[in-house]
Structure 1
Amino acid sequence: METPSDENNKIREPFLSSSPSKGGFRTLPFILATEAFERVATIGLSPNMIVYLRREFGMETAKAANVIFFWSAATNFTPIIGAFIADSYMGKYRMIGFGSVLCFLGMILLWSTAIIPQARPYCDQFNTICEAPTTPQLLLLYCSLGLISIGAGGIRSSCMAFGADQLDKRNNPENTKTLQSFFGWYYATITFSALIAVTLIVYVQDTLGWGMGFGIPVMLMFGSAVSFFLASSFYIKLKAKTSLLTGLAQVIVASFRNRRIELPSHATNEVYHIRKGSMLQVPSEKLRFLNKACVIKDPQEDLTSNGDASNPWSLCTVDQVEDLKALIRVMPLCSAGIMMSVNVYQSSFMVIQAGTMDRHVTPNFEIPAGSFSMFMMISIVVWIPFYDRIALPLASKIKGKPVRLGLKQRMGIGLLCSGSSMVASAIIEYTRRKIAIEEGLSDEPAAVVHMSALWILPFYILGGLAEPFNGIGQIEFCYSELPKTMSTIAANIYGFGTFISNLVASFITSMVDNVTKRGGESWISSNMNKGHYDYYYCLLAGLSMLNFIYFLACCKAYGPCHGDDKNQAEKSKKGDYESIDDS
């Protein structure tokens, strides 16, 4: 027999099918497998993609890097669009299914460029001479990458939230603990998938060729789609509802439409449109021009009989206005993390660099150049539990009181680690280039110098430390500073910054290539022994230092964080439990 709370829950979150046999832990293996296979497939293509574009399509290093930057940017941006469409129109189930099909088709097209000779230009591998790719060949390549990005966006935008839908029982006292456990398994699965991608898939590409190396991701993506649809009848499928992004857009439009009205000198709750049950009666004085979006000009015209706005694109609630203000306030601090991601994306050049160095670990085994990124992932996986379970408890024991780094401190440490990784890369590349010249290899870009590739590990290790400090710190910062109703946006701000960082990295690469090659050889020449990648890394290190100064200025302007206030954190935690009980 259903309880009243069960009935209310169904009214608030209607199901496409409300059978009690739906959802639960049995659906999670299918959902987790969907994104795990997708991650292995797409991430497995990334490390060696710059090698593929240079060898098989005859692209210059700078152009190939820009293709990868734009592809990564699209892959990081499409989940934001996918989340909006899933929440507002399609629903998560249809979005994941749509993404799985598109990603599979994109991988088939990319695979065809490797197995069909006519789908790529002729290249003489011995003389490293390639014909220029034709327009249809480039169109096929770009279409394949575009479909993969759109498909991956559909899957990544909704998979985690769709899995949480299967477990979210708000009348269950263990609900919070269950969801936390799911999120932990989700991230563990994703990280493990990435490790498999940069080791096994890259190894197959290096040893068995591009046909097999691209064919395995096709099969994995097919398995991803099949595993998802197999459990279709068991899923809880929530209907799409209006997205919070729509509400934020309404504030921008309404404030522009009302730009000519005068704000009242004394704010009262009769002047502003207030959401029913809201604690906010008047908007704050910060970013005051946005307050015009919630000013009631004529109650007869602006409001309906039940108190709602007649036109939500002309009149918004105080809550909507304050949500947008909170989002605008966190953006400057979050934008400082863009430079960290720019540095991380230099790993494409590291693949080329590692290919010119001795990668042997034993006399009979060498690490594939594209697999060196696994050291960054290992650093992340090792550091997170070490910091949480060993470093903090040990520091607390030594100090005799609880010790924790503030959110802005962690974000700043991440930026310093990222800048240090570029300094280390510049020193290592300067040494590698010097050895290559001394050995007479200036005109042999593919020649291996007598220097161990393990010297480039500082880049990956420092980059691996930067990600947990700045990346996770930024996500926690957004969760603590933004209203609880904006938790979805808080989770996507970091991804949006990653999208911007790809565009910034592409811009920097293009500018450096165009400017430096006017005086002769480009700093980022296809021949690393004639170029000056060490100068390029020094430039990025300098930009990282300027970015850190910008970050400090943003910290001072922002003021204290809620997440660093113990009393505020306790209050927030209590509020969370009360909201769960009340549901």
Structure 2
Amino acid sequence: MGICRDVKTDQPKEETRRGGNRAVIFVYATEGLENMAFISIAVSLVTYFYGYMNFSLTKSATTLTNFMGTAFILTLVGGFICDTYLSRFKTCVLFIIIELLGYALLAVQAFLPQLRPIPCKGVALSQMNKCEAADTSQVAILFTGLYMVALGTSGVKAALPALGADQFDDKDNPKEAAQLSSFFNWFLFSITIGAIIGVTLVIWVSSNQGWEWGFGICFVAVLFALIFVCMGKSLYRNNEPKGSPLLRILQRNYTRFMTKKQEYMMKFCREQNNLARKFTGIPTGIRHLQRIGIGLVLSAISMAVAGVVEARRKSVAFEHNMVDSLEPLPMSLFWLGFQYAIFGAADMFSLVGLLEFFYAESSAGMKSLSTAISWCSVAFGYFLSTVVVEVVNKASGGWLANNNINRDKLNYFYWLLSVLSVVNFGAYLLCASWYKYKKVEVKQGDSIAEGNKVEMAIV
């Protein structure tokens, strides 16, 4: 009777009517709503920590990156549970409920003044360090809510992409093989739409109506995400867990273990190929690692552009004698559009490429865990960011040490990230050049003889 119960059937005819684009509509809606909530707090929590919990600017930034890193590294937990114990659907439901409870706790804390320190409003930037700090119990409530959200979103990020991809049969149906690639593109589109609404509407509400309203909207959005994922249960193709893939790997001999391990290394194709699928015979049209490489290049460019824009912003602050002012600068917000547009394109290539690569190249029993591995690269970046901020502050004499961003050297930090991104891309090319895609059989009717093997990379 429960709306969130798995629907099972042993009737092949009924099973064939499941899946496809009808089923993934609910996946798109779920991801859009959940990501709207997550991204809205991800980009604004520094303001909440700094202005309402009275953390220092550096502590606010490191607390956020630790939170984001934890949210993505915990996808391994969700992926393991999904592949080993629960179905993708049940995993989504379980972790969405956990995320709901986290937003509820954050909303309650933001609503009740006794659960947080007196906010420092209207205080000069140079005096912010004299504000009342949050006590131990207030910090404990904050971190409990935050990391419930982190745990919840991690399970969703591990299970939901695999649940959607499971709705397409890329082995026996060439039409659905092409639809599988389109699924990841539309999945990113739903992520982007949710993020846009989150960073505009939800942040506006939080800034103008109060943080309790912002966290409340996040709670409602995730509640509707839960409803939508449950509404599609009768249409899903449900892949039951097949036991722990990690234990099966450990039981193999050393040689086979090393071979299996290499299948998950991110490597780039040795030769460039035509991007159009009608010439390559590849359902995705562009190879996964090529897509990731393009994303890495765009990411380096976006950081360089961000440094230029930040330098321009600081010059405006000095020209108008507003270095220590709390008033907004006479500079259009659309200047940020350059870096965010490039970075958005970078995300489109790298994130979709990673998700599709790990899903396509993994074994049948490790789809969710492999998807989680792609998110772990994001977690690594956030944790590394915390270390980089600390190291740069000490090595540079305090590029990011002030509570006044106008006196910091954030533009230098952006340019440093751009250089590191270039180095990262070089390392990626080296690793990617070693990779060989696994061979798959694609049935394409008259265009390709049935059973003809198509290798997804030039060996």
TM range (shorter): 0.7 to 0.9
Q: Secondary structure at the match of 2:85?
A: helix
- 1:537 paired to 2:417: no
Q: Secondary structure at the match of 2:405?
A: coil
Q: Secondary structure at the match of 1:422?
A: helix
Q: Partner of 2:442 in structure 1? A: 573
- 1:194 paired to 2:63: no
Q: Partner of 2:328 in structure 1? A: 448
Q: Partner of 2:403 in structure 1? A: 526
Q: Partner of 1:219 in structure 2? A: 220
In 2, Cα distance between equivalents of 1:486 and 1:120: 43
Q: Residue 10 of structure 2: which of 6, 10, 18 is its match?
A: 18
CA contact (8 A) 1:414 1:466 kept: yes
Structure 1 residues 126 and 323: alpha-carbon distance in aligned structure 2, compared to 1, 3 A threshold: same
% identity of equivalent residues: 27
Structure 1 residues 524 and 465: alpha-carbon distance in aligned structure 2, compared to 1, 3 A threshold: farther
In 1, Cα distance between equivalents of 2:89 and 2:287: 38
1:77-105: per-residue Cα shift (whole Å, max 9, x none)?
22222111111112223212211211110
What code does the residue aligned with 1:217 have? C
What code does the residue aligned with 1:322 have? T
Show the 5 A alignment for 1:303-452: 318=256, 320-327=257-264, 330-331=265-266, 410-444=291-325, 446-452=326-332
1:97-154: per-residue Cα shift (whole Å, max 9, x none)?
2112111100001111211101111123122653100111111111111111111122
In 1, Cα distance between equivalents of 2:232 and 2:365: 30
Q: CA deviation at 1:407?
A: 6.1
CA contact (8 A) 2:443 2:451 kept: yes
What code does the residue aligned with 1:532 have? K
Q: Secondary structure at the match of 1:133?
A: coil
Q: CA deviation at 1:333?
A: 6.8
Q: CA deviation at 1:502?
A: 0.8
Q: Secondary structure at the match of 1:124?
A: coil
RMSD of aligned residue pairs (Cα, Å):
3.8
Q: CA deviation at 1:56?
A: 0.3
What code does the residue aligned with 1:88 have? T
CA contact (8 A) 1:24 1:167 kept: no
Gaps of 5+ in 2: 1-5, 280-284, 454-459
Q: Partner of 2:383 in structure 1? A: 503
1:265-299: per-residue Cα shift (whole Å, max 9, x none)?
xxxxxxxxxxxxxxxxxxxxxxxxx32xxxxxxxx
After superposing the two structures, state which structure 1 stretch, 467-476 or 46-55, moved more.
Answer: 467-476
Q: Partner of 2:340 in structure 1? A: 460
CA contact (8 A) 1:417 1:463 kept: yes
Q: CA deviation at 1:480?
A: 7.2
- 1:73 paired to 2:74: no
Structure 1 residues 523 and 221: alpha-carbon distance in aligned structure 2, compared to 1, 3 A threshold: closer
CA contact (8 A) 1:524 1:532 kept: no
What code does the residue aligned with 1:452 have? S
What code does the residue aligned with 2:304 have? V
Q: CA deviation at 1:332?
A: 7.2
What code does the residue aligned with 1:424 have? V
Q: CA deviation at 1:72?
A: 1.2
Q: Partner of 2:100 in structure 1? A: 104
Structure 1 residues 121 and 495: alpha-carbon distance in aligned structure 2, compared to 1, 3 A threshold: same
- 1:57 paired to 2:53: yes
Q: Normalising by structure 1, report the TM-score.
A: 0.63
Q: Secondary structure at the match of 1:239?
A: coil
Q: Normalising by structure 2, report the TM-score.
A: 0.78
Q: Residue 37 of structure 2: which of 36, 41, 50 is its match?
A: 41
Q: Secondary structure at the match of 1:523?
A: coil
After superposing the two structures, state which structure 1 stretch, 114-123 or 167-176, moved more.
Answer: 167-176
In 2, Cα distance between equivalents of 1:469 and 1:136: 43
1:149-194: per-residue Cα shift (whole Å, max 9, x none)?
1111222222233345566698878654665565555443333222
1:421-449: per-residue Cα shift (whole Å, max 9, x none)?
222222222232233223322333x2333
Bigger Cα Rg: 1
After superposing the two structures, state which structure 1 stretch, 65-74 or 224-233, moved more.
Answer: 224-233
